[in-house]
Amino acid sequence: MLVCLARQAGEVVTRTRLAEQAWDENFDPLTNVIDVTIYHLREKVDRGFPRRLIHTVRGRGYMLQLGDPAAELAGHG
């Protein structure tokens, strides 16, 4: 899942796209497996650092921000 986010850094990646890339199967939108996996990724990638890299874009998906967060989010309003 982190590879999928990294390949599309700065772009919103939908939950369905993440599931298809990570598990290569149809995604059940009622499951919380994406949320749990993102939580664990955040524990490893973001914890202990002043700037978060993994962001939730409410109603759309997740985004890995490597550059200027204000500039990247401005294009995804």
Q: What are phi and psi of 63, to 5 degrees?
A: -145, 140
Tens digit of pLDDT for each residue in 31-58? 788 899 999 999 999 998 888 999 999 9
What tokens does 74 get?
């401005």
pTM: 0.76
State the pLDDT at residue 77. Answer: 47
Tens digit of pLDDT for each residue in 2-33? 999 999 999 999 988 888 888 766 667 677 88
Domains (range + CATH), the chain: 2-74 (1.10.10.10)
The alpha carbon dihedral of 58, 41, 37, 63 has a sign of positive
